[in-house]
Amino acid sequence: MANRSKISFDWDKKSIEKEEPGFDHSGKSEARNIPYTQAIYETLEQILAIDSRVFIMGQGVDDPSGMFGATLNLHKKYGSQRIFDTPLSEDALTGVAVGAALVGMRPIYMHNRPDFLLLAMDQIVNHASKWRYMFGGRSNVPIVIWAVIGRGWGSGAQHSQALQGLFMHVPGLKLVMPSTPYDAKGLLVSSVLDDDPVVFIEHRWAFKHTGYVPDKLYAIPFGKGVIRKEGGDVTIVGASYMVIEALRAAEELRTRGIEAEVIDLRTLNPLDEDIILTSLKKTGRLIIVDTGWKTAGVTAEIAAMVSEKGLNFLKKPVKRIAAPDIPTPSGYVLERKFYPGVREVVNAAVELAE
């Protein structure tokens, strides 16, 4: 069995912020910039090389496209016993992965659509998330459940749902949602090393981005958000692709004389409450953004936390920007209306600034 100490854990929050203050590193000639998908692929390849307990399973992980390129040809290098396709039986196969984790393996179960994780909720919610608690910490389930949300070509109501609100609700699950290639690598390392189940949600459109990524392995701790852009007029909080939308909105707001502070939460469970409250204390105005549904979702939970712990900081009521409470449409025009983005963030910030 490989030695985990080969992985570098020389992380500290200051170095991360110094190395990766934003998304665009194209102006830094010395930076090593790679696409988001390559960051995931590189991480998996490096972890597989040093830890024989890690294996990858999922529909299409060994096909010619390699799960959006994230697992491309890994089965040729590490064999079909460590990289293998799975049938359409999410409940049963999640049970297989949980069983493997219980006996010391480190499975990564990849889903190109999170919608079908609903079929495996019994294994995830009733078993994997509770194991450590029920057995007094003497047994644990170190599994990573990797899934991709986001629209593509009109994916519709059953292939593009953003279900992070459901998973954030479950005790015992950690919930990770990176927005940059740098964070995708560091947070995936942390997820594989964690001794408890981790739901790792990517956004399809984040795959379009390129950014600075060190070639070494490194870990980003859970529950540590980062300020992507500083500002004193309004705080915008989110994770994953909505951080990119928020940064674009912040650029437009600057032309209107409004300086927005954009916070990337990185993980929703654990949640970095301190970074939200500290920023809110400075700005007094808060916009929470998410790709999931609004009612009882991520934005609702964060708004409730702020009402409990930061009510006195608020100068205006909290604004929440999330998907409307209807199934996702597949038509192009309806999709454009359904998904919130820059326009909604800008409008909300302008209203708060008035």
> CB under 8 Å to 170, separation ≥6 — which residues?
124, 125, 129
Q: Which of 159, 169, 203, 209 is catalytic?
A: 159
Q: 205: how many CB neighbours lie within 10 A of its CB?
A: 17
Catalytic residue status for 159: yes
Assign 3-class secondary structure to the chain.
CCCHHHCCCCCCHHHHHHHCCCCCCCCCCCCCEEEHHHHHHHHHHHHHHHCCCEEEEECCCCCCCCCCCCCCCHHHHHCCCCEECCCCCHHHHHHHHHHHHHCCCEEEEEECCHHHHHHHHHHHHHHHCCHHHHCCCCCCCCCEEEEEECCCCCCCCCCCCCCHHHHHCCCCCEEECCCCHHHHHHHHHHHHHCCCCEEEEEEHHHHHCEEECCCCCCCCCCCCCEEEECCCCEEEEECCHHHHHHHHHHHHHHHCCCCEEEEECCEEECCCHHHHHHHHHHHCCEEEEEEEECCCCHHHHHHHHHHHHCHHHCCCCCEEEEECCCCCCCCHHHHHHHCCCHHHHHHHHHHHHC
Q: Which residue has the tokens 């951080």?
A: 243
Distance CA 157, CA 203 (A): 16
The closest alpha carbon to 268, from 165, 172, 185, 142, belongs to 165
- Which amino acids are annotated catalytic? 159
